[in-house]
Chain A
């Protein structure tokens, strides 16, 4: 019996040793070094804003002098923090020091991923629609599908950009140095810079982003406010900002956000879901043209995704430009050309190679992902990190990328619902797909339009990576053919239309004063 227990003990010990094996799967951006801009862009207060008419539209009062009792008390507060920083606090500093624009974009991609979940059907086979007025009820608001996500990324990036331009304007105007520069007993826990610290750029970002999120992710306000507070506190503990730097920054950020929220409330996105009458009308109009209309391939049939998103007001060009960017019609659903196009899709998926499956999965960006715009933000982040942009330049670049992605979504959705073209599987049901078929018409490919737009503007921002962006865009585009969810013409046209949208962003980039 004794022997038995020894054996059991040995077995259990072996189990525990195995259990102790490392399970950690760290984020690839966990150890991004602190941002140390090559150029502090001191004159960014003169860059062209997106919605603000002037960088000083919202007033920021002059700060108190560095010799004032108030300011000295603020320095003492920082010294108090620095006396006993915990490793958790140091980790928070390290996290935010990598760059506020980067971290907020990551947080936002996380929220899009979390909320990119289509609703489960009602017992009668209809689907509930998330409600902004009642966001906590099932299905949670929002359903962060690709158009919703594209718009959300764009608004947050654009608002951050305008807020940081205003921030830089006041930084240069008031020229109050960072706490570590005013008091040599304050340690800089982040790389030092000659950039004035009033108002704090971290607090501007925290304020503007938290305020935007109230509109975009209302069920997450509590978490977001906590993150905002964490970012601000991290900068104080790091010796990079005082309480008044933070307070002025946060107030400025929140005010700038109001301008963007006002625009968002009037940009038609709230009406993009459409009504049953609208949904039926697409079918009627298509049938009247003599074409086979798109049908949902889900069971029960799901209403098309945001069919009126094509009417949303773009950032980079007037709404009237949207129809002018429409490509010509796809091959008739009655034509041999379309049958051949469907056969081409079938041949791609008949016995897929592992490489094709890999492309399809890498670019799937479907349910429960950050969507193609988020994927392009992730690709952009990898290169932006290596370029050591200032925070205001990070924001400017993301604003350009994400405005291009949002406008690409608008133009793409306009085209999709203008032609209301069926998916390959609707034409040939033997076409089985390597990822879920998105619930909206086929022509033109959303991935391709997004990728064409993103590659165009990114190639302008990071010219040395232009070839890579176009290789990725082509891969993303072709992955939709390889996955069996698009005809080749959807992909080819999508890239062309997307690059046209991207060119508007390039045009803006050349004129915004930052190039």
Chain B
């Protein structure tokens, strides 16, 4: 049993991303307790000078540094201790430091996930757990996807399914996750475009995406510090040609390495701080981005609040 699970943990490397924002809780091995609601904001800053046109890596003096800032409202709620609902909605602003292209900004895509703890086993000080996450995301505004690299998103309505396997021994953990995202066709503002062939329509078929991550680190109660290796692979799509414009259905692949953490301030209104930094170590048709994020979350415990209420009434 243990050997099989370890093989699975090491062997399966899949997962999914959304273009800018990753809800940390959507991919980790942590559940909110029943009737606990954790919500907050995450600020994200991402920038790159270099990018890949297909496999050709270059800079572009007509873009300079391309940066994306976002502020996301996110959170998770424990329907039960084994079933959580999670959500995220970012406001995104993009900017190029050189050249003449205009900034873009707006509310991007809303995401909602259901996370289910399928199975859990504790053996002495070791814990094994398996989670399945199902998610859906959709654009909340009519933003323009066909203005890369400054578009705030890709507009594709996306359904995703993710497996999360978590192993913890004392305070050390490793999480392997794999996700598959189905992306619906999008509509752009022009009626002809070229991929590797001509298309006479404003509809763009968006290739699906696989995403995998391996995370490991230290975890104690609500706090954790981890190293994360994330890979995003577009299943299909096409390469940008040399000096061509990017397009939403490009094959956008990347691998990032980063660190993340969460720290609950002791005895302070159940407020916690999250933070992370990541770097694209390999990519294709994407920018070589460095991304930093910082967030603040608060937990509202309705279960214990009700218990207190009951206690209060009983005492009277």
Q: Is the CB of B201 within 8 A of A364?
A: no
- Is B81 interfacial (CB 8 A cutoff)? no
B135-160: which residues lie under 8 A (CB-CB) from chain A? 142-144, 146-147, 159
Distance in Å: Cβ of B295 to nearest Cβ of chain A:
29
Closest to A426 in B: B100
Q: Which of B99, B103, B193 is most buried by chain A, counting CB atoms within 10 A of its CB?
A: B99
Q: A21-B182, A27-B200, A114-B198 are in contact. Are A8 and B243 (CB under 8 A)?
A: no
Q: Is the CB of A11 within 8 A of B144?
A: no
Q: Which of A210-218, A259-267, A324-332, A433-441 contacts B (4 or more CB under 8 A)?
A: A433-441
Contacts of B205 in A (CB 8 A): 23-25
Contacts of A109 in B (CB 8 A): 192, 198
Q: Is the CB of A1 within 8 A of B189?
A: no
1/0 per residue A358-397: CB within 8 Å of B?
1001101011111000110010000000000000000000
Of the residues B61, B197, B203, B243, contact of A110 by C-beta under 8 Å: B197
Closest to B163 in A: A11
Contacts of A27 in B (CB 8 A): 199-201
Could you tell me how many residues of chain B have their Cβ less than 8 Å away from some Cβ of chain A?
51
- Is A276 interfacial (CB 8 A cutoff)? no
B176-221: which residues lie under 8 A (CB-CB) from chain A? 180, 182, 184-185, 188-194, 197-201, 203-208
- Is B34 interfacial (CB 8 A cutoff)? no
CA distance A366 to B188 in the complex (A): 15
- Is A45 interfacial (CB 8 A cutoff)? no
CA distance A120 to B142 in the complex (A): 33
Distance in Å: Cβ of A132 to nearest Cβ of chain B:
20
Distance in Å: Cβ of B93 to nearest Cβ of chain A:
13
A9-60: which residues lie under 8 A (CB-CB) from chain B? 11, 14-15, 18-19, 21, 23-29
Contacts of A106 in B (CB 8 A): 198, 200
Contacts of A361 in B (CB 8 A): 144, 146-147, 188-190
Q: Is the CB of B100 within 8 A of A23?
A: no
Q: Which of A315-323, A349-357, A462-470 contacts B (4 or more CB under 8 A)?
A: A349-357
Contacts of B119 in A (CB 8 A): 3-4, 7
- Is B118 interfacial (CB 8 A cutoff)? yes
Contacts of A349 in B (CB 8 A): 102
A419-474: which residues lie under 8 A (CB-CB) from chain B? 425, 431-434, 436-437
Q: Is the CB of B200 within 8 A of A21?
A: no
CA distance A378 to B102 in the complex (A): 28
Q: Is the CB of B142 within 8 A of A354?
A: yes
Contacts of B134 in A (CB 8 A): 14
Q: Is the CB of B244 within 8 A of A368?
A: yes
CA distance A11 to B178 in the complex (A): 11
CA distance A4 to B4 in the complex (A): 11
Contacts of B310 in A (CB 8 A): none
CA distance A437 to B1 in the complex (A): 63
- Is A221 interfacial (CB 8 A cutoff)? no
Q: Is the CB of A14 within 8 A of B189?
A: no
CA distance A298 to B182 in the complex (A): 38
Closest to B118 in A: A7
Contacts of B147 in A (CB 8 A): 357, 361, 434
Q: Is the CB of B198 within 8 A of A7?
A: no
- Is A297 interfacial (CB 8 A cutoff)? yes
Q: Is the CB of B62 within 8 A of A298?
A: yes
Q: Which of A3, A25, A106, A364 is most buried by chain B, counting CB atoms within 10 A of its CB?
A: A25
- Is A119 interfacial (CB 8 A cutoff)? yes
Could you tell me how many residues of chain A have their Cβ less than 8 Å away from some Cβ of chain B?
56
Closest to B134 in A: A14
Distance in Å: Cβ of B146 to nearest Cβ of chain A:
6
CA distance A119 to B163 in the complex (A): 45
Q: Is the CB of A362 within 8 A of B189?
A: yes
Q: A25-B204, A354-B142, A425-B100 are in contact. Are A369 and B190 (CB under 8 A)?
A: yes
- Is B242 interfacial (CB 8 A cutoff)? yes
- Is A299 interfacial (CB 8 A cutoff)? yes
Q: Which of B144, B184, B192 is most buried by chain A, counting CB atoms within 10 A of its CB?
A: B192
CA distance A299 to B180 in the complex (A): 40
Q: A8-B163, A120-B243, A299-B61 are in contact. Are A358 and B189 (CB under 8 A)?
A: yes
A177-196: which residues lie under 8 A (CB-CB) from chain B? none
Distance in Å: Cβ of A160 to nearest Cβ of chain B:
19
Q: Is the CB of B198 within 8 A of A357?
A: no
Contacts of B198 in A (CB 8 A): 106, 109-110, 113-114
CA distance A490 to B276 in the complex (A): 49
Of the residues B98, B185, B190, B243, contact of A364 by C-beta under 8 Å: B190
Q: Is the CB of A19 within 8 A of B102?
A: no
- Is A494 interfacial (CB 8 A cutoff)? no
Task: Return the 8 tightest CB-CB contacts between A and B, nearest first.
Answer: A110-B198, A361-B189, A299-B61, A25-B203, A18-B182, A432-B102, A27-B200, A120-B243
Binding site for B on A (CB under 8 A): 1, 3-4, 7-8, 11, 14-15, 18-19, 21, 23-29, 106, 109-110, 113-114, 117-120, 138, 297-300, 349, 352, 354, 357-358, 361-362, 364, 366-370, 374-375, 378, 425, 431-434, 436-437, 484
Binding site for A on B (CB under 8 A): 1, 4, 58, 61-62, 98-103, 118-119, 130, 132, 134, 142-144, 146-147, 159, 161, 163, 180, 182, 184-185, 188-194, 197-201, 203-208, 241-245
Contacts A8-B163, A362-B189, A368-B245 known; list 7 others, CB within 8 Å.
Answer: A24-B205, A106-B198, A370-B192, A378-B192, A425-B100, A434-B102, A437-B100
17 pairs, A vs B, C-beta closer than 8 Å: A7-B119, A11-B161, A18-B180, A25-B199, A25-B201, A25-B205, A27-B200, A27-B201, A118-B243, A120-B58, A120-B242, A298-B62, A299-B62, A361-B189, A368-B245, A369-B193, A431-B100
